[in-house]
Structure 1
């Protein structure tokens, strides 16, 4: 299986994350991809190649242009305001606040465009986000051109990025940009199956009123888990998109047997939809020892996940999402690919 990756994904290393009332070293760090690449080479899973540049046009097909411009200038404006630390939002438009103009000051714009306060911006953020979407687009082109599966080893991840908001370590929604690429190149229907521990709230936001993309997400119950507020079972789409968004909120402590039941139901829905292509938002933070999740999947379970996905029988793109800096992230991510290849 082709793996698309760039060592330059390591360039974005933020120093601060707001977690449990403290500023800590971010869980989303360069070591995540180091573990995965090391395991891919140990297992000889396939060729590793760098991405091609794709410009902003595919991004603007999904994301609001003013939001992307904000990402481009945020660090410059933060520094121009005289701030020395990393850019972290601290004020948001809240319930009952009337909608007004987007603030001029960078502090206000950060809050306007942020969906959460844990994700810091630094000098490398925008370029890292652009590189990550190039990785995804290069991989999706490989699938479209050859029919063979590919793995986009993206960093930063993307599934929390909405049309005009960032958060959850995500800035550009890589799976959404990839799905739109497939549609623009002639596919009629694409399915996105998100198996990250955290709900793919940004992906849901982007496609919630569309019927050409089926979005499905298996995740921790948003009553108790980030990103909260979205991801409930009664969120099924709106207008033309009614019936094309499917959520599987699962309780803390979910083991593989219960999780796999939800996966099987999602697979059945994918088959009923009969898409031209399947995109997997591959999070392995469902692992029992992941530092910011509460499911109990074990490393061997990821082999079975890959095998189940292969049996769907569709051209498939894997896009890396969550799974944090424990060494098993490499084992678990590559086990999904091995299970897929060997099924």
Structure 2
């Protein structure tokens, strides 16, 4: 069995290994290929529009061994809305086992999702008079027979097969093949001319002259273009006369991690806004978007937690929650301001040793809910590390960004985002990670945890600490210490902030992230900057959240979103839906229907 996976870049070790295998197969199976074409493949992925063409690499690999059994390289020209299949090949021992067909189906699926007018590619000729070596004739026929299963056939009545050198041989010059992707819509003459010009100028700039390009382009006179009559099949397969419905492909969906037992953490005191209803309110709105894939949470145990939090602090949380009777909450009420040298023996009294406020209670189910939130975030991180997703969302509660190395508070007990960020960097060989906190309140937890580390950038946009919780942190002059100096950026804003003012702060935050050049991004998604939130004073609306998501998605960095605050349940879900619409559309280059607005 094999899986087909889309490789976006060479950040992850698994992707670097796969790309190396693809390059080796290119050299072995296409011996006449220019060295530059093979060597620049990782660069094309990192800088997708450098040549006005975005490159996609698909690999068919055995799931356990990460052994590439076939690959396809697809180019997308967004300005002309067409796709070009550069290469598709199966490993020698995989020919005839369905690898090529599965890859081509996957490529067509991608083209439809991109909104392409069609897919074009080259195929060597299958007429004996056009082939110099009769031994290759049957191979050429087999390839064209293969593509004709999907209705793809050579374009005729053009000079595409003209020799580059005047008077040169036309032997072995390729056909240009067109696949309408099942739409039944042919290319018009003007469309075809633009596309052929782009193919020759962008793909063969090193080889062809402008005179040659003009001669080939002007030879396209049929309107619409004509394809060679079917030679191998009488009837097209998978090519209905009406367009196929375009669904979001599975590989582009966002894994949605929801801790189903989050609601066991329920503080029923009047005015306690961090309530279980927050999760279904958000999820109900997200269900209106076709971009999410509900995903089962995995268990990661204690080790990732104590890699970020103090071991004694973690032990205390677990022990005190286990010891508390059902339906009873223990609030911190005595704090070691004058004498922090002696810890009280009583577990409930000791809460003040570890907590930073008086309104974050402990009860029997806190540990269960908080560790489930951590496991959701870690599952999303793992899916990104495994190359299964570029975006993942941990829709969790309780939130975590106020939890520091050995303290809890602000409704937060364990810092899920910080734990996931450390995990991403550590599992990727020390890769750099950026945390962007867009909650109304300062992300003091990750600031303190990574204060002396330069491998994790922490950025927070929040209400100024002179009026907003947690009051004692979040000032602009807090920039980190030691190795972490300069790796912490605070952007405190005034009490009244609208979308335009927020745009300026977000621009500074994103500039800092770009300059840091992280391999991964963790977004602490607070929805409390929204208008009417009981814990905030700002007035962002749905369009502002969508714009924020769009600008974050444009970073093009593998991104884990972890839910933090946001408590106005009337608009909470709407704001989340708009944020993710913008994030997904920007990150994928796709567009969603607006019917759910």
TM-score interval for Structure 1 and Structure 2 normalised by the shorter chain: over 0.9
Secondary structure of 1:182 counterpart: helix
The match for 1:124 among 352, 365, 370 is 365
Alpha-carbon distance in structure 1 between the residues aligned to 2:302 and 2:322: 19
The CA deviation string for residues 263-298 of structure 1, in whole angstroms up to 9 with x for no partner, is 001101111111111110000100011111011101
Secondary structure of 2:524 counterpart: strand
Indicate if the aligned counterparts of 1:75 and 1:87 stay in contact, CA closer than 8 A: no
1:53 maps to what in 2?
A: 299
Moved more, 329-338 or 124-133: 329-338
Runs of 4+, deviation exceeding 6 Å: none
Q: Which has the higher contact order (CA 8 A, sep 6+)?
A: 1
The match for 1:155 among 397, 403, 411 is 397
Indicate if the aligned counterparts of 2:532 and 2:568 stay in contact, CA closer than 8 A: no
Moved more, 140-149 or 118-127: 140-149
Task: Say yes or no: does 1:228 pair with 2:474.
Answer: no
Task: Say yes or no: does 1:32 pair with 2:278.
Answer: yes
1:181 maps to what in 2?
A: 423
2:310 maps to what in 1?
A: 64
Alpha-carbon distance in structure 1 between the residues aligned to 2:489 and 2:383: 28
Alpha-carbon distance in structure 2 between the residues aligned to 1:174 and 1:204: 14
Indicate if the aligned counterparts of 2:465 and 2:492 stay in contact, CA closer than 8 A: yes
Indicate if the aligned counterparts of 1:14 and 1:121 stay in contact, CA closer than 8 A: no
The CA deviation string for residues 312-333 of structure 1, in whole angstroms up to 9 with x for no partner, is 1111111100001413111111
1:299 maps to what in 2?
A: 542
Unaligned runs of 5+ in 2: 1-253, 587-597
Alpha-carbon distance in structure 2 between the residues aligned to 1:6 and 1:74: 22
Task: Say yes or no: does 1:315 pair with 2:315.
Answer: no
CA RMSD of aligned residues (A): 1.4
Max Rg structure: 2
Task: Say yes or no: does 1:142 pair with 2:142.
Answer: no
1:3 maps to what in 2?
A: 256
Task: Say yes or no: does 1:113 pair with 2:366.
Answer: no
Indicate if the aligned counterparts of 2:323 and 2:364 stay in contact, CA closer than 8 A: no
Secondary structure of 1:3 counterpart: strand
Secondary structure of 1:192 counterpart: strand
Q: Shift of residue 46 of structure 1?
A: 1.2
Q: TM-score, normalised by structure 1?
A: 0.93
Task: Say yes or no: does 1:209 pair with 2:455.
Answer: no
Alpha-carbon distance in structure 1 between the residues aligned to 2:426 and 2:289: 35
Alpha-carbon distance in structure 1 between the residues aligned to 2:280 and 2:271: 17
1:285 maps to what in 2?
A: 528
Q: Shift of residue 76 of structure 1?
A: 4.2
* CA 1:312–1:77: 2 relative to 1, 3 Å: same
Alpha-carbon distance in structure 2 between the residues aligned to 1:271 and 1:212: 14
Aligned pairs, how many?
331
Moved more, 222-231 or 183-192: 183-192
Q: Shift of residue 100 of structure 1?
A: 0.9
* CA 1:84–1:9: 2 relative to 1, 3 Å: closer
Q: Shift of residue 6 of structure 1?
A: 2.7
Unaligned runs of 5+ in 1: 17-23
Q: TM-score, normalised by structure 2?
A: 0.54
Indicate if the aligned counterparts of 1:29 and 1:325 stay in contact, CA closer than 8 A: no
1:21 maps to what in 2?
A: none
